């Protein structure tokens, strides 16, 4: 998935977190962390079905190389996106 169409959530060192468009009527969120030093992308798909992931659940989905500060940014964005669906 291209980071060109994604929203940049933040950076830490050489890692940059991106949020991608939603799928399945908001039932999943997709994030990528790109490391400019290693040229690797770390994909973080959250198939949540409308229920919020906890930070510890996101840590389990993410690669261990992803910095914890970026996981916090992803968690905050995920919660914010879910709150936009509440009445």
Q: Which pLDDT value is given to residue 41? A: 95
In this predicted structure, what is the pLDDT of residue 26? 61
Q: Is the pLDDT of residue 52 over 60?
A: yes
Residues 77 and 9: beta-carbon distance below 8 Å:
yes
Q: What is the pLDDT of residue 86?
A: 59
Instruction: Give the total number of structural domains in the chain.
Output: 1
* The pLDDT of residue 49: 78
Domain that holds residue 39: 7-83
Question: Is there a domain that residue 42 lies in?
Answer: yes
Map tokens 């009527």 to a residue.
25
Instruction: Tell me the two tokens of residue 11.
Output: 């950076």
Domain presence at residue 2: no
Confidence class for position 48, pLDDT limits 50, 70, 90: confident
Instruction: Please indicate, yes or no, if residue 1 is contained in any of the structural domains.
Output: no
CB-CB contact of 42 with 71 (8 Å): no
Is 33 inside a domain boundary? yes
Among 45, 38, 56, smallest CA distance to 20 is for 45
Closest-CA residue to 25 (of 48, 57, 2, 54): 48
Among 20-24, 55-59, 79-83, top mean pLDDT goes to 55-59
> Residue 49 domain-assigned?
yes
């Amino acid at each position: 998935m291209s980071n060109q169409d994604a929203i940049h959530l933040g950076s830490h060192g050489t890692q940059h977190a991106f949020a991608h468009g939603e799928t399945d009527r908001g039932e999943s969120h997709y994030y990528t962390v790109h490391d400019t030093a290693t040229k690797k992308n770390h994909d973080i798909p959250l198939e949540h079905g409308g229920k919020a992931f906890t930070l510890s659940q996101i840590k389990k989905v993410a690669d261990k190389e992803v910095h914890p500060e970026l996981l916090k940014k992803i968690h905050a964005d995920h919660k914010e996106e879910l709150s936009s669906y509440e009445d």
